[in-house]
Amino acid sequence: MSLQNESKIYKIGQAAKLVGLKSYVLRFWEGEFEQLEPIRTPSGQRLYNEEHVKLIARIKELLHDEGLTIEGARKRLDSFDPQSEGENDVAVEQVENDPVENLPLFDIDNNSNRSCKSEILKEIHAELLAVRKLLDY
């Protein structure tokens, strides 16, 4: 990704501030999300364009607001397109304005959800093991 034709370029601290995060979080996420690859200056300084900032905001939304694991957020990001971000706002408004009785029900005890629950538990277990390993040092 080059600096040509980019309307706004942000240093790491500026990009982090725009989305309400600390710089070290962005540096960590770079290692976790292959889609997040900032532009590097010859001196190694990280630069972010507006697409990067949209991607960072989406990652934050997935992890902080939706409560997904890093692995779950990675899977969701496979279909994320920062250039089309905002095009789904109408659909979200329609869902938010639908009466509750029109929304589908989720039956936690339904056996069809067993494999989904199993996958979620595996992800949680893997993350807990990783945290435990970090704390052991």
pLDDT at 133: 83
Residue with tokens 């010859």: 42
Please give the domain boundaries of the chain with CATH numbers for all domains: 9-90 (1.10.1660.10)
- The helix-helix angle for 12-19 and 23-32 (nearest 10°) equals 90
Q: At a CB cut-off of 8 Å and minimum separation 6, what does 3 contact?
A: 9, 39, 47
- The helix-helix angle for 12-19 and 50-60 (nearest 10°) equals 50
The CA distance from 25 to 105, in Å, is 36
Question: pLDDT tens string for the chain (137 positions)?
Answer: 444 444 689 999 999 999 999 999 999 999 999 999 999 888 889 999 999 999 999 999 999 999 999 999 999 988 776 666 554 443 444 444 545 444 444 444 444 445 556 667 777 888 888 888 888 86
pLDDT at 58: 94
Q: Backbone phi, then psi, for 99, in 5-degree steps? A: -65, 150
The CA distance from 25 to 29, in Å, is 6
Dmax (CA) for the chain in angstroms is 57
Task: Report whether 9 contacts 49 (CB < 8 A).
Answer: yes
pLDDT at 82: 65
